[in-house]
A = this chain, B = another copy of it.
């Protein structure tokens, strides 16, 4: 059976849990034989988008490039997990339209919780004045209005978040293969 390509786009503040959840989803799906690719904003910024900064234009361009790759992989039947802050609605909407097979996951945690976690030490750097334009503090974050999935990582544990996403992906695999079966 042909795998159904889809981009699952994780958006949310730094520290909300995008990388943690997407890594776990990838691990489980791969162990079940699915082809999965992770496009993590932090990693991509070291290679494909290393020329870009954090202005709105640069953040949008970052998302467009990630979207470009996600689209190529998706149309070739890969399950693509994008973990990127992607703070602006408009460009998220733009990549959704381009890709088509698109599931938006809002990884939702309050800025206070994210700062408390501070896995990468970025909030500390911001408070020390080493970083400016921090999403959710002095730079905007436009939360999704109609995400397919919301993971409230302050209230639910990792397994619960992961389960919702895997269920959605498998549901799409099934409905796609059914729809293919209905064609002559």
| Whole-angstrom distance between the Cβ of A120 and the nearest chain B Cβ | 23
A65–B77 touching, CB < 8 Å? no
Q: Which residue of B is nearest A5, CB measured?
A: B76
What is the CA–CA distance of A47 and B64 in the complex, to the nearest angstrom? 9
A37 within 8 A of B: yes
Q: Which of A67-75, A83-91, A126-134 contacts B (4 or more CB under 8 A)?
A: A67-75
Interface centre among A48, A68, A77 (most CB of B within 10 A): A48
What is the CA–CA distance of A78 and B76 in the complex, to the nearest angstrom? 7
**Which A42-87 residues have C-beta < 8 A from chain B?**
47-48, 51, 61, 64-65, 68-69, 72-73, 76-78
Contact of A68 among B35, B48, B51, B77 (CB under 8 A): B48
In the complex, chain B residues whose CB is within 8 Å of the CB of A37: 72, 76
Which size bracket describes the interface of A in this complex?
A: 10 to 19
**Which A112-167 residues have C-beta < 8 A from chain B?**
none
In the complex, chain B residues whose CB is within 8 Å of the CB of A73: 72-73, 76
In the complex, chain B residues whose CB is within 8 Å of the CB of A48: 65, 68
In the complex, chain B residues whose CB is within 8 Å of the CB of A77: 35
